[in-house]
Structure 1
Amino acid sequence: MGSFAVSKIKQMSTIEKIQEELDVLLNETRKHEIVLHNDEVNTFDFVIDSLVTVCDHTLEQAEQCTILVHYKGKCAVKTGEYKDLEPRCSKLLELGLSAEIV
């Protein structure tokens, strides 16, 4: 194998390694969302109170999200890093709401 071929292999190896490291960093800092789904069970007031308590919404934010969930079927209610969203989503689920992290 010529020196050009060896140099090219080393270059590709370095590029692949950098790409892998970049992918890991992006996944760690990538923003996720808690999506709340309409469930036809919980009252508007209960959902609003839950969003204020669990997601730190203002009353107005919680009301707007609740209306969107009701009419559109779902709404992203909180954006952030997975490690912050996971306990919040778990709490919403414990309260009987239908939510997921995407």
Structure 2
Amino acid sequence: MNTRPQIPQIEREEDVLLLEEEAELRNLVVYNDEVNTFDHVIKTLIDVCGHQPEQAEQCTLLIHYKGKCAVKIGSYEELEPLCTAIHDRGISAEVI
């Protein structure tokens, strides 16, 4: 007879709640303006957000025609430095 020992099931509600808070995803939204060129916004999305050229171009078109676009999803801690880098290039953005 082959019996394996029972592994106790431990539930830690505190740990689960902490993980849920850490995993809260936000959007990095870039807004349209009348100042920046398509090329500048595309280059910024490639350099700052790691977009492929096609993805950056599509986001830039959405920004232009819809007024804004969520260009990246992640935690606040991940997105805030990217938002600052986008601001440093003269482009309006926020983490929401």
Common fold: TM-score over 0.5: yes
Report the equivalent of 2:75.
81
Deviant stretches of 4+, over 6 Å: none
Q: So what's the TM-score if we normalise by structure 2?
A: 0.81
Q: How many percent identity over aligned positions?
A: 54
Larger % of helix: which? 1
Q: Quote the Cα distance in structure 1 between the aligned partners of 2:66 and 2:75.
A: 25
Matched, 1:42 2:48: no
Matched, 1:55 2:49: yes
Aligned residues: 85
Radius of gyration: which is bigger? Answer: 1
- The 5-angstrom pairing of residues 6-21 of structure 1 reads 18=13
Q: Quote the Cα distance in structure 2 between the aligned partners of 1:92 and 1:24.
A: 30
Shift in Å, 1:21:
6.2
2:34 partner SS = coil
Q: So what's the TM-score if we normalise by structure 1?
A: 0.76
Report the equivalent of 1:8.
none
Unmatched runs of 5 consecutive residues or more in structure 1? 1-17
Deviations 1:44-92 (A, max 9, x none): 0000000000000000000000000000000000011111111001000
Unmatched runs of 5 consecutive residues or more in structure 2? 1-12
Root-mean-square deviation (CA), in Å?
1.6
Shift in Å, 1:22:
5.0
Report the equivalent of 1:71.
65
